[in-house]
Amino acid sequence: MAVEVHWMGFDTLKMGLSQTHFNLIVTILLGVGAVQALEMSVGKIPFLEAVNGSTVMLPCTYSSCIGIENLYFNWQFNDNGTMQKVCEAMIPTDGAVPNVKMYKERFEFVGKNKNNNISILLWNITFEDGGQYTCFGRNRKEKGKNHSAIFRLIVVDELRVVDNTLTIIIASAVGGAIALLMGFMLLKNFTLFVLSKLEEKNKECLVTSSGIDNTENGLSGSKVDSKPKTPKQK
């Protein structure tokens, strides 16, 4: 279902609504049109570094909220500015396995349209295979709109060995700082615990000492004879 915008109708609608409500309606209508679009994806990492002579997969999937009808797709290779078609096919409906026509050697269609997968495999890559590959799609339900995603293949003699020395040093420094902080916190808590115990012991000593002094002075826990003693008569 395509969203058609008639500006005269929008002007009439705008006259009867506040600016905020009008903007909200426009946003919703445009959003409905956007979610219908076909999307081609080559994954979160759109490039691959591979060794000369190895076999690699060039990933691509498609998705559409409104489904597909005669979805046309192809893979193209950018050969120094000249687009060379690698393969192409038509997918009539959701879940149908396409009959893919291949135009270049050493390429194989491996997606089989399972989970909307239209990936291809490239055998025994050479340095000439390195470059930009485009996964293209066009869904008839969208009235001929074109969509594409780009994947870059980098061919090298050998994979670079990543030097993790700096990472290890940073990780060790961070780990040592965390361990030192934890040790400091433990020492602090232990010191506070010891001081609290000593303070409690001092309080007990003060209370005990005060009780003894008061008893000796006849103030607490002792009886004082208020009657004066009369001398014995001879």
Predicted confidence (pLDDT) per residue in 88-97, tens digit: 999 999 989 9
- Decide: 108 and 124 in contact? Cβ < 8 Å: no
Confidence of residue 70 (pLDDT cuts 50, 70, 90): very high
Q: What is the pLDDT of residue 4?
A: 43
List Cβ neighbours of 165 (8 Å cut-off, separation of 6 or more): none
Residue 76, judged by CB atoms within 10 A of its CB (0-12, 13-18, 19+), counts as buried
The more confidently predicted of residues 4 and 44 is 44
The neighbouring-strand residues paired with 149 are 135
Q: What is the pLDDT of residue 7?
A: 41
The span from the CA of 6 to the CA of 14, in Å, is: 12
Q: What is the pLDDT of residue 227?
A: 56
Which region holds residue 81: left if phi is over 0, alpha if psi is between -120 and 50, else beta?
A: left
pLDDT reading at 78 higher than 50: yes
Q: At what angle do helices 7-16 and 19-35 cross, to 10 degrees?
A: 140
Q: How many CA atoms lie within 13 A of 11 on its CB side?
A: 3
The more confidently predicted of residues 33 and 186 is 186
Confidence of residue 61 (pLDDT cuts 50, 70, 90): very high
The neighbouring-strand residues paired with 48 are 153
The span from the CA of 223 to the CA of 104, in Å, is: 118
The span from the CA of 202 to the CA of 196, in Å, is: 10
The more confidently predicted of residues 197 and 14 is 197
The span from the CA of 133 to the CA of 146, in Å, is: 16
- Decide: 40 and 136 in contact? Cβ < 8 Å: yes
pLDDT reading at 11 higher than 70: no
Q: What is the pLDDT of residue 143?
A: 85
Q: What is the pLDDT of residue 222?
A: 47
Q: Give the amino acid at 15.
A: M
The more confidently predicted of residues 81 and 228 is 81
Q: What is the pLDDT of residue 75?
A: 98
pLDDT, one tens digit per residue, over 146-172 is 999 999 999 999 887 766 677 778 888
Q: What is the pLDDT of residue 30?
A: 45
Q: What is the pLDDT of residue 87?
A: 98
pTM, two decimal places = 0.57
Q: What is the pLDDT of residue 15?
A: 55
